[in-house]
Amino acid sequence: MADPLLFNPRTYDPAHFDPETRRLLRATVDWFEDRGKRRLIEDYRSRAWLGDFLAFASKEGLFATFLTPASDASRDGQRWDTARIAALNEIFGFYGLDYWYAWQVTILGLGPVWQSDNAAARSRAADLLAQGEVFAFGLSEKAHGADIYSTDMLLEPDGDGGFLATGSKYYIGNGNAAGLVSVFGRRTDVEGPDGYVFFAADSRHPAYHLVKNVVDSSKYVSEFRLDAYPVSADDVLHTGRDAFDAALNTVNVGKFNLCTASIGICEHAMYEAVTHAHTRILYGRPVTAFPHVRRELADAYVRLVGMKLFSDRAVDYFRSAGPDDRRYLLFNPMTKMKVTTEGERVIDLMWDVIAAKGFEKDTYFAQAAVEIRGLPKLEGTVHVNLALILKFLRNHLLDPVAHEPVGTRADAADDAFLFRQGPARGLGSVRFHDWRPAYDAYAAVPNVARFREQADALCEFVTHHAPDEEQSRDLDLLLSVGQLFALMVHGQLILEQARLTDLDEDVLDELFSVLVRDFSAYAVELHGKDSATGAQQDWAVAAVRRPVVDGARSARIWERVEALAGAYEMAP
């Protein structure tokens, strides 16, 4: 019997979606399964461009259906629906991050377009999607990275109301094939933020010069250069501060996709790892008979379940966001930072078990072990997103307000607010519902109760031992505090989703035993920071807890993990 908590292509039926969404998701799974594991791996090893996949997506209208907002739709079923976008992320991650990447950078390239009031550009983008084209997001540069204040893409007025754009962009996915590239630059005749411009370019234009693929991969991560590229009024998407906000708000939309891609990678790798370990005999016993192996695989399993629970619940807040409810601005960097780093831990735990098998060229695991590393490093580093999360700490922990309850959002609605988020500032004014009821609902679960003690201790730390003005300049110390806060938010949304899905309490208890250990480890890390005060060190030691051990519960979790052996294997 398939584990209902994990994606399994053999049994996958997204019945909670409308018929056309179900058809497209299932058709995507079937395309990969029909292609087979050997071809999948060979394309990855040979760095083959994704032409066959993009032809399939074009034929089915996959990108056009999932990535055209309802306001720009030309046929039924087209909408921007974060729930089904997340489902497709998971599928792409399951079969290979190269496929996900072409889709992800298309999403980023569309962000500035769908936020624009330029009707001609929007119509052009919708037509290109309908034709099966991909898109690109021309923001970062070789010399400046994503420091958009320092862009060297310069737009010189041409005397006829347009511009000639000259400059280069670096690390731009799909830059080799994009029908439309959203490019960020600045005018040469206007100083300061008022001079920013987002404009649409075509990679096939003679003034667009593709330099190279900067990575050794099927993912075409390009460097391109514009030489006096003509930019007309119909090409201008945003100007001034609006262009700056469009860049950040696009990243808000795009970074959310990293969590579910990470989940898909871990799920495929887990089927392979558990099957291999369970069928390999060592010293006369299956590898899975050894206690340390069972612990590592069980930890990997519950961490993966936690990744899914958190991400599924975050979808609801993303879809329910509005001008008066911007809680997604915390949960979004959480999915990008916390879920993707959990993905790395899941892969590492399984790799410790299967060891040399994880290098073999005929396994999915070999590419999973490489690709899982990229997700925490895309759309802002872990450190950048941790620093962002810290901006919400005090309001979230200590100053809750009433919000209307947010239920499960699998409805066929258009998430229009994502393209009218407004100015990318004011994070300190974002307010949250009380986190305590989520924990109170599971107070009888031993390790949830144990972790709640640590969450309460964190509130005490923020109230009485928060970093002073000098320590607030020590980012190394602050990041340790951020990890503690992230764990508490991670646990909250896991518990909310557990309640909505009636999760088996054995799984929840085992998962929170892991989170208790994690909190204790980060507390010890804080204790050792150079600038930690004596009071902060004392607090850190007092916050350490031992999980509640239950051998019978752990045995039941192991039965779930063991059942994954042979539950799925991709056809050759």
Q: What is the DSSP string of 162-212?
A: -EEEEEEEEEEETTTT-SEEEEEEEESSS-GGGGEEEEEE-TTSTTEEEEE
Note the pLDDT of residue 453: 98
d(CA 90, CA 74): 27
Sign of dihedral through CA atoms 449, 450, 453, 458? negative
Residue 285 has pLDDT above 90, yes or no: no
- The end-to-end CA distance of the chain, in Å, is 22
Note the pLDDT of residue 541: 98
Beta pairing, strands 208-213 & 221-231: antiparallel
Residue 363 has pLDDT above 70, yes or no: yes
Q: What ranges in 219-290 are assigned the alpha helix state H?
A: 241-255, 257-279
Note the pLDDT of residue 29: 98
**CA-CA distances (angstroms) from residue 50 to 62, 98, 99, 259?**
15, 8, 7, 22
Confidence of residue 256 (pLDDT cuts 50, 70, 90): very high
Question: Span 99-104, mean pLDDT?
Answer: 97
Sign of dihedral through CA atoms 525, 530, 533, 534? positive
Confidence of residue 284 (pLDDT cuts 50, 70, 90): confident
Q: What is the DSSP string of 38-83?
A: HHHHHHHHTT--SHHHHHHHHHHTHHHHHHS-GGG-SSTT----HH
Range name among 317-331, 368-382, 431-445 with the lowest pLDDT average: 368-382
Residues in the chain: 572
Confidence of residue 131 (pLDDT cuts 50, 70, 90): very high
Residue 42 has pLDDT above 70, yes or no: yes
In this predicted model, what pLDDT tens digit does every residue of 145-166 receive, in sequence order?
877 788 999 999 998 889 999 9
Question: Span 71-97, mean pLDDT?
Answer: 97
266 residue type, one letter: C
d(CA 341, CA 359): 21
Residue 526 has pLDDT above 70, yes or no: yes
Max Cα-Cα span within the chain: 82
Global pTM value: 0.96
Tokens 């399939």 found at: 56
CA-based nearest residue to 470, from 383, 530, 391: 530
Q: What percent of the chain has pLDDT over 90?
A: 92
Tokens 């507390």 found at: 523
Q: What backbone torsions phi and psi does residue 453 show, to the nearest 5 degrees?
A: -60, -40
Q: Which two tokens stand for residue 411?
A: 């409805």
In this predicted model, what pLDDT tens digit does every residue of 466-521 receive, in sequence order?
999 899 999 999 999 999 999 999 999 999 999 999 999 999 999 999 999 999 99
441 residue type, one letter: A
Residue 569 has pLDDT above 70, yes or no: yes
d(CA 116, CA 81): 19
Beta pairing, strands 208-213 & 154-157: unpaired
Note the pLDDT of residue 1: 67
Tokens 């007025």 found at: 157
Note the pLDDT of residue 151: 92
Residue 378 has pLDDT above 70, yes or no: yes
Confidence of residue 377 (pLDDT cuts 50, 70, 90): confident
Residue 219 has pLDDT above 70, yes or no: yes
d(CA 104, CA 67): 11
Q: Which two tokens stand for residue 569?
A: 């294997």
d(CA 568, CA 137): 36
Question: Span 298-325, mean pLDDT?
Answer: 97
Confidence of residue 66 (pLDDT cuts 50, 70, 90): very high
d(CA 9, CA 570): 9
Q: What is the DSSP string of 364-389?
A: SHHHHHHHTTTGGGSSS-HHHHHHHH
Note the pLDDT of residue 283: 86
74: alpha, beta or left? (left if phi > 0; alpha if psi -120 to 50): alpha
Q: Cβ distance 507 to 416 under 8 Å?
A: no
d(CA 252, CA 112): 12
Q: What backbone torsions phi and psi does residue 186 show, to the nearest 5 degrees?
A: -145, 150
Q: Which two tokens stand for residue 392?
A: 């919400």
In this predicted model, what pLDDT tens digit does every residue of 447-462 receive, in sequence order?
999 999 999 999 999 9
* Sequence-ordered list of residues with C-beta below 8 angstroms from that of 257, at least 6 positions apart, any chain: 85, 86, 89, 100, 104, 107
d(CA 112, CA 135): 11
Note the pLDDT of residue 449: 98
